[in-house]
Amino acid sequence: MVPGGESGDCVWHRNPFTFAPGQHNPHFPHPAPTNMTRILFSLLALSAAASVQAQSWVAGKHYSVIPTQRTNVPAGKVEVMEVFSYGCPACNTYRPIMRKLQAALPPNAQITYLPASWQAAEAWPMFQRAYLTAQSLGVADKAHEAMYDAIWTTRELGVTDASGRLLKKLPTIENAAKFYERVAGVKAADFVNASKSFSVDLKVRQADNQIKVMQISGTPTIVVNGKYRLNNENLNSDEMIQLARFLVDKESATAKPAAAAPAKKP
């Protein structure tokens, strides 16, 4: 979803290019190579492909270098952030891609989330505040997938009807509090009180400012280690995962290792 865009706008424009399984290459010499030769060719092809892919990522086209942001991961970790909104239909559709990205990342990478708020007509400011409140209470991760389902599947917190038309009455923070009470065990009254706290107000302002500084033009958008913003218009989903992994590996080479625990005295 782009700021000011129509509901349902998706930022992924390109289709992945795939080879048909089992497709015969008429130029492959016969007789067929031995198993060892096949393995060797496969390894060489993978190595060459990885090298070409790494060299083909172009700053300013596939990703942009942005003003460096403070990350929210421990020392030695590389942050992979999704800028999103629960109210964004493209973000909801993007969930399987995020799962594939998670599986493709090395152990030292950590996924985080930053909620956007620019679509007030679709309750994005409320969803932003709800996420940041849940984060402050330590239950954001536990309820993350269920929140999408409550909006887009059961419509407990829906912003559209079954035909896709915007509802006249949008969900409120009180409605979200009841959801978190059911899913995460936080009392609804405590959730509402926390949502009105100075600390959550500060988180809201910081999120809006960071999104502006990073020049986020649509959701979902991936930012690696507070330095690199992936440009969705020039990537398909598989390329996004490959590029994110490439940038994580790049940052891993310079990341500070976590401090070792002090040795116990004998």
| Per-residue model confidence as pLDDT tens digits over 131-161 | 999 999 999 999 999 999 999 999 999 999 9
- Go through the domains of the chain in sequence order and give each one's CATH number: 63-252 (3.40.30.10)
pLDDT of residue 162: 87
- Three-state DSSP class for residue 206: helix
> Could you tell me the pTM of the whole model?
0.78
Token duo for residue 20 = 């048909």
Which regions in the chain score pLDDT beneath 70?
1-55, 255-266
d(CA 243, CA 221): 13
DSSP designation for 257: P
